[in-house]
Amino acid sequence: MKRFLLIITMLACHFSYAQIVIPIEIMPEGHILVKATINGVEGNFIFDTGGGLHVVTKKFAEKLSNFPKQDGGFTGFRATGERIDADLYTAQTLTLGGFTDKNPTVAVIDANFGPIDGLISLMSFQNTPFTIDYTQNKLIIETDKSLAVRKKAAKAIIPLQLEKHRDKSLDIFAYFTLENKLTLQFLLDSGSGKNVFRLNAKNIPLLGINTGDTAKVKKISHRSEIDTSFSSSIYHTKVGSLAAKGAPGVKVEGFKASFVEGLIYDGIVSINWIGKQLTVDLQKREMLVVY
């Protein structure tokens, strides 16, 4: 009997630590590609911490059954200020590996993302801590005990601010110090790729950047891939330093940045440079970093 109880205890401890491990692929551009199924139909999705809400293409949505359209819609704005009007649908299930979210809201847009069927946002992880492991190419759903282990191993903890709209979309932000001059709040956006630093162009004069110096600053016009009539002016130049507020070990120096006119945030940054392992706990509003 004692041996039986010991085995049960050991099994209970094992499963309390047993995270759900989901393979991911880091694409050449730095996007996180994950296999997911919606209502049992598998597709290729970008795991996008800056996506706001789950999105599928119209082509993928046509494969789905039991996918009713909601009466209301959603109007959002891309970071450049471009307006997006989307129809909303209710899926039965959204599944990544062994993790399933029931009855998620999904936006459908008429866009061509090539082999990508859509975006998986943070909306399904509001009560579910997860880790992005860039060293082993894994998305890991944490348990209470495994999360405690992650916290002890963390080299830095970055406070997060949440932006939630109408219980339909969710993004995360954090404060950073730019050039030891400005403290700015940036969107943390895994969907932007790797080593991406988009800053609001209004900060150009505050940093003493001379846009007329064409040897150091390159100006381009970028056209939207969704609304091709929409374009933004962008200034590319080199910036000295960027560090997470309160976590000076999370920093980058001498990096290329894009200053975007009309950006609706202070800035947008990719997350690959922050650390090798990033654990996001939305309930506690923090990111645990191992670098």
- Quote the domain boundaries for residue 239: 149-290
Greatest Cα pair distance in the chain? 81
* Sign of the alpha-carbon dihedral angle for 55, 57, 63, 66: positive
Q: Mean pLDDT over residues 44-67, rounded?
A: 97
Last residue of a domain, one of 129, 146, 163: 146
Band of the pLDDT at 79, cuts 50, 70, 90? confident
Q: Using DSSP, state whether 59 is helix, strand or coil.
A: helix
Answer yes or no: do 176 and 278 share one domain: yes
* 94 and 112 co-located in one domain: yes
Give pTM, 2 decimals: 0.89
| Cβ contacts of 124 within 8 Å, gap of 6 or more | 54, 94, 101, 104
Same domain, 269 and 251: yes
d(CA 192, CA 198): 9
Check whether 4 has a pLDDT greater than 80.
Answer: no
Asked if residue 5 is part of any domain, the answer here is: no
Of 110, 128, 146, which one is at a domain's C-terminal end?
146
Query: pLDDT of 27-54, one tens digit each?
Result: 999 999 999 999 999 999 999 999 999 9
Structure tokens at 206: 């505050």
| CATH number, position 43 | 2.40.70.10
Residue 95 falls inside a structural domain = yes
Residue 78's pLDDT is what?
Answer: 79
Do 133 and 176 share a domain, yes or no? no
Confidence of residue 229 (pLDDT cuts 50, 70, 90): confident
Residues 120 and 174 in one domain: no
pLDDT at 230: 67
Same domain, 110 and 49: yes
Q: Which of 2-11, 12-21, 42-51 has the lowest mean pLDDT?
A: 2-11
Please check whether residues 182 and 265 belong to one and the same domain: yes
Determine, yes or no, domain membership for 6.
Answer: no
Write the pLDDT tens digit of every residue in 131-179. 999 999 999 999 999 999 999 999 999 999 999 999 999 999 999 999 9
Cβ neighbours of residue 233 closer than 8 Å, sequence gap 6 or more: 201, 219, 220, 221, 260, 261
Structural domains in the chain (count): 2
Q: Are residues 134 and 166 in the same domain?
A: no
Do 204 and 236 share a domain, yes or no? yes
Q: How confident is the model at residue 221 (pLDDT cuts 50, 70, 90)?
A: confident
282 against 10, higher pLDDT = 282
Residue ending a domain, choose from 92, 117, 146: 146
Please say if the pLDDT value at position 115 is more than 70.
Answer: yes
